[in-house]
């Protein structure tokens, strides 16, 4: 439970000057924040720490990620994003705004994630105290470069503690999970979504919901699109006949493959092959990376 003094709207301090390596420009509390409904891009860094409530974070290149109390969101400049609470009750937060060459160096060396970080930091009272202690109230509206430098040093120490004590970026966790899920959906032979779910240690329903949330399409749609892409590459290659492609991709037979391909692409395999420019094998124009080894003993499958 957080101290009551945290739950009020207040700008703890603002900076009036920069120091040569950077600046902590603002620190504040929001007792009831409603976040951002529209995407925005900041010209500076931001650290937002959720004290109470639940919500989401979303950027242009990352789907919605759940936020909850104890989450610290570190935003670099130039990222188009939005975030906010779910429901009408809002959430409570404490935040820091900062910028400067020293923090850009943190980005360049990979210490800070250039696409944002979501870290879980507990206990909440302790981290709220650490964040608001970056600059003591006595240094509010500070006007000297020396005082500004002291705030930058305190913030660097805070970020180092945060990354050390809560090193797992929840955005990276989703990216790793999605990469694993996609690899399992691309397997041939494909053993079905129930097997994929078990390998990911989740239920089939939870797997489908999380996959759709992260990628915007269902696992079935992803699997089918993948098969069409692989089939198109093999048809363009021209080395394999339809029944060989069907066997390579795990279909029952050429008729099964042809029906599937037409339902997804609007063309039969033979029509698609005829519409492609002739490829001269052995020429520089032929991309060897499109070749896929054909195995006669591949088990057959029905795309799921």
pLDDT band of 291, cuts 50, 70, 90: very low
Predicted confidence (pLDDT) per residue in 166-185, tens digit: 767 777 767 778 888 989 99
Whole-angstrom Cα distance, residue 146 to residue 150?
6
Three-state DSSP class for 185?
helix
CATH class of 173-290: mainly alpha
pLDDT band of 82, cuts 50, 70, 90: very high
Predicted confidence (pLDDT) per residue in 223-234, tens digit: 998 899 889 989
pLDDT exceeds cutoff 90 at 133: no
297: left (phi over 0), alpha (psi -120 to 50) or beta: alpha
Predicted confidence (pLDDT) per residue in 20-56, tens digit: 888 888 888 888 887 777 899 999 999 999 998 888 8
Dump strand ranges (E) for 87-147.
91-99, 117-120
Residue tagged 């005082």 (tokens)? 147
Domain boundaries, the chain: 4-167, 173-290
Mean pLDDT, range 109-133, rounded to an integer? 89
pLDDT given for residue 297 in this prediction: 38
Q: Are strands 54-59 and 117-120 parallel, antiparallel or unpaired?
A: unpaired
pLDDT given for residue 304 in this prediction: 55
pLDDT exceeds cutoff 60 at 287: no
pLDDT given for residue 17 in this prediction: 64
Which tokens belong to 159? 């970020």
Whole-angstrom Cα distance, residue 284 to residue 246?
28
**Second-level CATH architecture of 4-167:** Sandwich (2.60)
Which tokens belong to 59? 């950027």
Three-state DSSP class for 129?
helix
- pLDDT, greater one: 280 or 148: 148
pLDDT exceeds cutoff 90 at 237: no
pLDDT exceeds cutoff 60 at 293: no
Three-state DSSP class for 63?
strand
pLDDT above 90 as % of the chain: 36
């Amino acid at each position: 439970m957080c101290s009551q003094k945290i739950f009020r709207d207040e700008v703890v301090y603002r900076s009036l000057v920069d120091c040569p390596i950077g600046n902590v420009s603002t620190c504040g509390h929001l007792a009831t924040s409603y976040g951002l409904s529209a995407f925005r891009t900041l010209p500076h860094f931001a650290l937002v720490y959720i004290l109470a409530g639940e919500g989401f974070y979303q950027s242009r290149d990352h789907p919605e990620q759940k936020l909850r109390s104890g989450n610290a969101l570190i935003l670099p400049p130039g990222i188009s994003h939005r975030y906010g609470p779910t429901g009408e009750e809002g959430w409570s937060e404490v935040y820091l705004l900062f910028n400067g060459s020293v923090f850009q160096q943190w980005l360049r060396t990979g210490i800070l994630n250039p696409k944002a970080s979501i870290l879980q930091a507990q206990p909440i009272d302790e981290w709220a105290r650490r964040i608001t202690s970056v600059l003591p109230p006595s240094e509010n509206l500070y006007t000297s470069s020396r005082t500004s430098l002291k705030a930058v040093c305190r913030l660097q120490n805070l970020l180092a503690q945060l990354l050390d004590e809560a090193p797992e970026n929840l955005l990276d966790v989703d990216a790793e999970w999605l990469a694993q899920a996609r690899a399992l959906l691309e397997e041939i032979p494909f053993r079905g979504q129930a097997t994929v779910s078990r390998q990911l240690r989740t239920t089939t329903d939870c797997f489908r919901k999380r996959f759709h949330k992260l990628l915007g399409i269902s696992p079935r749609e992803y699997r089918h699109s993948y098969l069409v892409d692989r089939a198109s590459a093999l048809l363009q290659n021209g080395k394999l006949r339809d029944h060989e492609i069907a066997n390579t991709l795990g279909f029952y037979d050429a008729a099964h493959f042809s029906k599937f391909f037409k339902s997804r692409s609007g063309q039969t395999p033979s029509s698609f092959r005829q519409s492609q420019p002739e490829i001269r094998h052995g020429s520089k124009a032929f991309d060897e990376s499109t070749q896929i080894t054909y195995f006669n003993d591949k088990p057959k499958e029905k795309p799921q």
